Structure 1
Amino acid sequence: MKNKVILFSLACATVLCADTIQSIEYNNLNKISKKIINETLGIKVGDEFNNDKINNAIKEFYKFGYFDDIVAVNNNGKLQLNFKEKPSIANVDIQGYKTRAEDIESLKTMIKLKKGSMYTEKRVKDAKKILLDLLENDGYINSVVETEVEKLNEHSLKLTFYVNKGDEIIIKKANYYGSDNLDQSDFDNVTSNKEKEFASWWFGQNDGEVNIDQLKYDARRINELYFEKGFLDAQVKEPFLNIDFASNQANLDFFIKEGKKYTTNDIKIFLDSSIVDPKDIYPELDLIIGNTFNIKKLRRDQAYIKTQVANKGYAFAQVKFDIQKDEKNSKVNVVYNVIPGKKVYVNDVRISGNSRTLDRVIRRDVYLAPGDLYNETDLNDTKSKLGRSKYFDNVKVEQKRVSEDKIDILIDVVEGSTGSLTIGGGYGSYDKLMINGSVSDSNIFGSGLSVGISADLSATRSAFSLSLNNPAIDDSKFSGDVEIHNTESEINRTVYDLDKNTKGFSVGVGREIIRDLRGGLRYKLDFIDEDYTYDDISTITNPYVDKDYISSSITPYINYDNTDNYQLPREGVKAGTSLQYAGIGGDSKYLKSTTYFKYFNNLNDYAELDWIFRFKTKVSILIDNGEINQGDSLYLGGPKTLRGFKSYSFPANEDGEVTKPYKNLWANSLEMSFPLIPNAKMRWALFYDYGMIGEDSFSEIQRSSTGAVLEWISPMGPLQLIFAKPLDAETTDDTSTFEFSLGSSF
């Protein structure tokens, strides 16, 4: 500052200083308005020149942080202030740390430097320190961050950070001293820092990389795990990381005091029965008397009780719990005390974050409206339904109190990419090499409409389809869709091969009847061409002949789905029934009734393990109403009906004679699914399948099989590797011991 005062004084000494200021001029001023500069200067035209006032003003200008230099000059009564502004950062680049564009943008936010920021050496120094801290937290030591400043013009520059990652610390051994009841695999499911495993490069395997910033939280996670296993006296100290800098390997030591394991002895709920009767709540609790106590289940029960009360309008109900330990007998009593508060009504529903998706598209999936009595389940179902819409990467549904009896519902969405290009493939014993792909957009122009083009190719099948779907016609509960398809399939039989080509379209309309229950009607028109090739037609007394025919049908249906997850259900039911009537014109004339039921139950409540019991059954009946073509026949076999037998195995040929279309089918499956590599979403399952099919009755052909399934929720969708063994196959049956299935699950 002294240099600036001297500079002003020298400038004034070179000329005859005027007594008053005749004009004020600002040069090279871009980042601050002249109004703010005038207010800060505190001097106006007509005032006397005053060195102290001008120097004090220059000091205030520097406090803005926008200037490298300021010079004041008295030019014969004209006060000139010449500013040299700090350059702006036109571009920030970080090289050598992350590769994905979104990760780099996240780093730019963390270092608090972005396009348009003012360049200062202190800001760059602070940014380098943040990057070095992040590298250390990621397990890199002795890292180096260098900067390069490239001047673009007088007012802007490009700033580049060159990151040289240091040595990576790998956890060679993780020790859990004092853990007698839990082992390393249990801890690996909850901790961030894990011991390096064999073939660490394989998905789901631990790479052993140290995350310094997560160490203190890992101790708490282990402590929480013990509470979930019933060890309420467990204590876990913060871990000790012993690093060998010569090899960049480390030993990680946790010190654990487990204590006793407690079982649940009694549960009491104190709640006004005029709101909700506690007798209706007890059977639904996750904590079970006589079982091991689990703090996670207690919290779920606490949330469940609050939800039941909040469903009656008590949005701000409080559920407090007290854990009463009987250390002598290792038992615990749980007491819930419910304070309901006042009934609350919805004041307004506010939506934010949707720059593309129309407000009305979101509001039609919101179960609460202004004036409604608050309902917690409606709030949670709103979040779930918006999350299932595929329009958003993230959905926040919150409540904001505006008075004692009114709240606003705040919906904040983060829109995602609704267009997708998917390519997948695989190999199956029947279909051989399989390739599938699709191009789709589930939210065209933010309208909620979806359109898709898909193709499936294999050695025995090629299918193409184009579809358009409107999930809420005119924002109502009605849905509509139209689909155009072309399918060519080859069905290989014992004495003949059938090449079947189907071209057609379908139009459907549906409606939500009640939550989780939908009904609808679908019209389908198919033009079918069947070509038969026989190994030796001379041996066939009644061969099928090539045939072209038209199938025109209408199908009413009703479906129910209350499962907890689309790709991997652990709880709930899927069920549906339909009745296809073919004979609205066309050649095929029949009725086909199809009913299915699927049940999922997580055995965690009973065995305290992530085992999933699954059961499904499907019954189809084909009724002759004038003419049933061979292509209309019911078929049994393959991954969807009877594993261990090839697709379309039954009806089979008997003694060289071609069978008639089969009209009765019943397929059943029992499965028990177990976790394999939870972090990679991999599981395995054991199954038993039993199926029946016949021309006049269900029991004409009966087959069963057993085996194992490897399941993976892959980025391309559900994938299954099926290893099956037929239990009662006959010598003429087409069996299959291995199948590959992509895109479908149980």
Structure 2
Amino acid sequence: MRVRILLFILGGLLVFSSKAFSQIKLRLPVLILPLKERGPVERPLLMKRLREALADSLKGEGFRVEVNETLPPSFSAQEARKLLEKEGYFAVIWGTVTEIGGEVSVDLEVLRKDWENPHHTYTAGALSDWPEIEDRAGEALLATLLEKQKVLEIKVSGNLRVDEEVILEKVSVKPGEFLDPEKVRKDLKAIYKLGYFEDVKADVTEKEGGLILTYIVQEKPVIREIVFKGNKAISESDLKKVVEIKPLSVLNLKEIDRAAETIKAVYQQKGYYHTRVIPEVKPLAGRRVKVVFHIKEGRKLYIKKIDFAGNRAFSDKQLKKLLSVSEKTAFSWVKKAVQTVKGFISPEPAAEPGVYSLAFLYRDLSKIETFYQNHGYIEVRIGEPRIKEKDGWVYITIPIEEGPQYRVGRVEVIQDLYPREKILQALSLPKEKAFSREALRRDQMKIADLFADKGYAYAKVDPELKRHPETKTVDVTFKVDRGPMVYVNRIEIEGNTKTRDKVIRRELLVVEQRPFSATRLKKSEGRLRRLGYFEDVSIEKEKGVKENLMDIRVKVKERPTGTFSIGAGYSSVDKLIFMGQISQRNFLGKGQTLSFQGILGTRSSRYALTFVEPYFRDTKVSLSTSLYNWSREYEDFTRESSGGSLRIGYLLTPNLRIYGGYRYDDTDLTDLNPIISDAIKESLDVNITSALEAGLTYDTRNRWFVPTRGMFHQLDTELAGQFLGGDSEYLKTVLSSHFYFPLLFGFTGHLHLGAGYITEGSGKKVPVYEKFYLGGLNSVRGYRYGDISPIDPDTGERIGGTRMFFLQAETIFTLLKSIDLKGVLFFDTGTVWDKEHGFDTSELRKSVGFGIRWLSPMGPLRIEFGWNIDKKPGEDSSNWNFQLGGSF
């Protein structure tokens, strides 16, 4: 590191600053004579203030100042010389103050003992700014006495790529100031710390009236190219990812050496020990360089044997399962293949099976220690692994001092909020057979959450452990300092450019000026995610202006909620079906849903317009309405329907909503075959369905699309009767339940249960199209819709049933984490029956299959393929469905 300072400053300044400065410390005497006034009036008070200001500025630099008020104000250089020689002053100061039209000028003459002629200073300004004139006159006098000069201009030279503004930002010297060598030295250091320069200098040149200060820089070379030579085991693209230096960055030799060590560490992580990495910097034209990393790869080392010494409670086999490193076996390649597949699902660093990696080995030691501590061995000690390399193989021995196993003794919680039995019942530690550090931390968080739910957001829970070696037990005492009751002060919402604040606030279960609740805050985040309006939601807690106040910041990232969605499906009945939807799930940013759906196939068509207002006039009342027109060609008839519905709901709890409504449907059956089922004939006279609806929904899912936990239940009841002015007469009840729960390895389990029951009226006027049919994407996949149904024994037609049941069981997992693409494996079963035939387990239809789900930019995407396990004559052996957008 080299910083050179070349300051060409007047010789007098250099001489004075080196010799006379020490004299200033000896309090050199300076005489200030009376100042002569020129103006319309005399101002003795201002003259006195000016002399005092001049004296104060000199005293600040260590001069001993005398003010003579007896001598006449008119004074000459000859008289000043006599005073210096006679009285022994170091310097004499005199001058005039001139006032003309409200403007004032201060002209001072300064004669120093070592000068031949006096030096002149001049300060001017408005009389109204007299205090500023005093200050500037004092600065000018001091600069003249010390032979300082003003900096007129500041320049930068030598910079090729770095902007001049970047350098000048680090310069503290300003034009118009007197030159201060100490400031210049600090500026040079600040410029050098930018990291862009090899050398920084300062140069001062004279100009009429002052100085020009120039900062001269020499830029470091720029890296034009980074090259790796000798690498075979690791690709160049992978090496570029791990080194921090990049092309077009400034050369830093320390960073080059650090990059070489990083490359070496990457090779060691993959088992290539004894690898050498030698960096080389090759100069190029135009202050550019090429960085070359010469790599001499070592041989990959494999683990022959892993042993444990001192373990008695757990076998070597049990402990080896905790390790990410493993012994080389004939099946290591299988483990590697599985690891490669898992890498696509969850790309996390992992040790290659059978390969020696010291970094992963040391990481595994903490896993072993944690495992022992969670089984009561709280005094366990994991020693330094003994590594032996022989004949190209690595032998590892891990020493363990287990110590005794401790059981859980007495557990107490010192607090004054909850009953003792209630808080102990919530803990898991008393139920453990052996003491567990993990259970201790879990209970510590549980207690903190219990207090946070009561408003004590800053409650501290400190566990104290008391060991009893004689009984091998540990007593645990949780001491709770609940702190102040915390109230929500302000709720700030960020990131919503379209969605109105009130749409977000009504989903929050925490309210301003009310006590804080951790559980309510967590549930609030889930409710916001469940809306489906946002790509991401985060809620941050911040301390308020007082100890008992908390601010909450809700950050959202909106996703497009207006979509044009399409879908397609294929069956042997309908052939190819196209589906389309134009919808806005956040209409005008008010959280309303407005959608138009359409299905167009070779044998069916459907159009529907729907509007949903979840919080009518900002109340807990919801309102939804729909209009539709439906047409479908069946084997034996064509159904044409039109109608609409109106529903009004009410939010009982944050998760539970009840509703009631009315539906009207007008259906005609046309194009009948000559021979049709009696069930179809009975439906010819049933045209109008006028029905009352009632039901409830319960929703705790943590997100809108592909939840990972929570449940959704919907119970629908519909009563149709002639007393309502319709032809149909029945009571229909349908239950749909979804359960989401986490499984191992990041998988999610999903159970979808459906059940339905129809009670026929006295006239048994249940039209065939109001009965139950199963099959398709939302019931039993592998069958087309309507395949699962009771069959008329005379005509062989599917006539629907009055009872139904189905179960979808599936596991959901990540295929591509970067775009959140999910894979699905499923098993479905279900059946439909009626009162006459009853339920028969042999009629349960089953299917298995797979699919993908993705929240694409155009909307939710589902592609699923199912196989019919127990195919019957006339049924398809498989079926697939493609859907992009919402359900139809």
**TM-score of Structure 1 vs Structure 2, range by shorter chain:** 0.5 to 0.7
Call closer, same or farther: CA 1:250–1:219 in 2, change over 3 Å: farther
Match of 2:7 among 5, 24, 36: 5
Counterpart mapping for 1:247-258 below 5 A: 255=398, 257=400
Counterpart mapping for 1:385-464 below 5 A: 385-390=527-532, 391=534, 393-398=536-541, 400=543, 403=546, 406-413=548-555, 415=557, 417-418=559-560, 448=591
Call closer, same or farther: CA 1:631–1:362 in 2, change over 3 Å: same
How far apart are the structure 1 equivalents of 2:588 and 2:294? 44
Instruction: Give the drift of 1:667.
Output: 1.3
Call closer, same or farther: CA 1:611–1:475 in 2, change over 3 Å: closer
Residue 220 of structure 1 aligns to a residue whose secondary structure is helix
| 1:561 aligns to 2:699 (yes or no) | yes
| 1:594 aligns to 2:721 (yes or no) | no
Match of 1:220 among 356, 366, 372: 366
| 1:579 aligns to 2:713 (yes or no) | no
CA RMSD of aligned residues (A): 6.6
Counterpart mapping for 1:8-23 below 5 A: none
How far apart are the structure 2 equivalents of 1:223 and 1:466? 62
Contact 1:219 1:238 in 2 (8 A): no
Match of 1:365 among 472, 485, 507: 507
| 1:268 aligns to 2:268 (yes or no) | no
How far apart are the structure 2 equivalents of 1:143 and 1:72? 44
Match of 1:25 among 148, 152, 155: 152
How far apart are the structure 1 equivalents of 2:407 and 2:853? 35
AA partner of residue 518 (structure 1): R
Counterpart mapping for 1:504-523 below 5 A: 509-521=648-660
AA partner of residue 205 (structure 2): V
Call closer, same or farther: CA 1:6–1:227 in 2, change over 3 Å: same
Residue 31 of structure 1 aligns to a residue whose secondary structure is helix
Name whichever of 428-437 and 573-582 sits farther off: 428-437
AA partner of residue 519 (structure 1): I
How far apart are the structure 1 equivalents of 2:855 and 2:395? 33
Call closer, same or farther: CA 1:276–1:723 in 2, change over 3 Å: farther
1:666-725 Cα deviation digits (max 9, x unpaired): 4154969799999997786777x5645215686489733567676877667787766664
Name whichever of 538-547 and 658-667 sits farther off: 538-547
In the other structure, the counterpart of 2:482 is 341
AA partner of residue 833 (structure 2): I
Counterpart mapping for 1:67-106 below 5 A: 70-82=202-214
| 1:316 aligns to 2:452 (yes or no) | no
AA partner of residue 337 (structure 1): F
How far apart are the structure 1 equivalents of 2:665 and 2:283? 67
How far apart are the structure 2 equivalents of 1:135 and 1:634? 65
Instruction: Give the drift of 1:520.
Output: 3.1
Counterpart mapping for 1:299-310 below 5 A: 299-310=441-452
How far apart are the structure 1 equivalents of 2:777 and 2:845? 11
In the other structure, the counterpart of 2:767 is 629
Contact 1:319 1:339 in 2 (8 A): yes
Number of equivalent positions: 690
Structure 1: which 5+ runs fail to align? 13-17, 45-52, 97-103, 152-156
| 1:182 aligns to 2:318 (yes or no) | yes
Contact 1:472 1:480 in 2 (8 A): yes
Call closer, same or farther: CA 1:61–1:301 in 2, change over 3 Å: closer
1:57-83 Cα deviation digits (max 9, x unpaired): 543432341796654332233433355
1:259-313 Cα deviation digits (max 9, x unpaired): 59979766734355x6322433455545573667664444333322332333333
Residue 649 of structure 1 aligns to a residue whose secondary structure is coil
| 1:694 aligns to 2:841 (yes or no) | no
In the other structure, the counterpart of 2:187 is 61
How far apart are the structure 2 equivalents of 1:431 and 1:147? 71
How far apart are the structure 2 equivalents of 1:615 and 1:251? 51
How far apart are the structure 2 equivalents of 1:585 and 1:172? 83
AA partner of residue 7 (structure 2): V
Match of 1:648 among 772, 781, 786: 786
AA partner of residue 220 (structure 1): S
Call closer, same or farther: CA 1:441–1:576 in 2, change over 3 Å: closer
How far apart are the structure 2 equivalents of 1:63 and 1:235? 50
Residue 335 of structure 1 aligns to a residue whose secondary structure is strand
Call closer, same or farther: CA 1:520–1:653 in 2, change over 3 Å: same
Instruction: Give the drift of 1:130.
Output: 7.2
Contact 2:730 2:758 in 1 (8 A): no
Contact 1:603 1:611 in 2 (8 A): yes
Instruction: Give the drift of 1:612.
Output: 6.7
Match of 1:277 among 410, 415, 419: 419
AA partner of residue 621 (structure 1): I
How far apart are the structure 1 equivalents of 2:484 and 2:770? 58
Residue 5 of structure 1 aligns to a residue whose secondary structure is coil
Call closer, same or farther: CA 1:660–1:735 in 2, change over 3 Å: closer
Call closer, same or farther: CA 1:644–1:742 in 2, change over 3 Å: same
Counterpart mapping for 1:123-272 below 5 A: 177-178=307-308, 180-182=316-318, 197-198=336-337, 201-204=340-343, 217-221=363-367, 223-224=369-370, 227=373, 255=398, 257=400, 259=402, 268-272=411-415
In the other structure, the counterpart of 2:516 is 374
Contact 2:527 2:702 in 1 (8 A): no
Contact 2:612 2:623 in 1 (8 A): yes
How far apart are the structure 2 equivalents of 1:389 and 1:164? 55
1:373-392 Cα deviation digits (max 9, x unpaired): 33332233233334444425
Residue 697 of structure 2 aligns to a residue whose secondary structure is strand
Contact 2:686 2:765 in 1 (8 A): no
Instruction: Give the drift of 1:395.
Output: 0.9
Instruction: Give the drift of 1:654.
Output: 2.7
Contact 1:264 1:288 in 2 (8 A): no
Q: Normalising by the residue count of structure 1, what TM-score does the alignment of the two structures yield? A: 0.66
How far apart are the structure 1 equivalents of 2:424 and 2:556? 38
Contact 2:283 2:289 in 1 (8 A): yes
Instruction: Give the drift of 1:143.
Output: 10
* Identity across the alignment (%): 17
Contact 2:492 2:552 in 1 (8 A): yes
Contact 1:132 1:145 in 2 (8 A): no
Call closer, same or farther: CA 1:360–1:229 in 2, change over 3 Å: farther
Q: Normalising by the residue count of structure 2, what TM-score does the alignment of the two structures yield? A: 0.57
Call closer, same or farther: CA 1:136–1:379 in 2, change over 3 Å: farther
Instruction: Give the drift of 1:198.
Output: 1.7
Call closer, same or farther: CA 1:649–1:715 in 2, change over 3 Å: same
How far apart are the structure 2 equivalents of 1:676 and 1:32? 47
Call closer, same or farther: CA 1:382–1:121 in 2, change over 3 Å: same
Contact 1:235 1:257 in 2 (8 A): yes
1:323-374 Cα deviation digits (max 9, x unpaired): 6788999x86673524253450315024264363554443333322333233
How far apart are the structure 1 equivalents of 2:299 and 2:646? 60
Structure 2: which 5+ runs fail to align? 15-117, 120-143, 157-163, 229-236, 309-314, 326-331
How far apart are the structure 1 equivalents of 2:285 and 2:620? 59
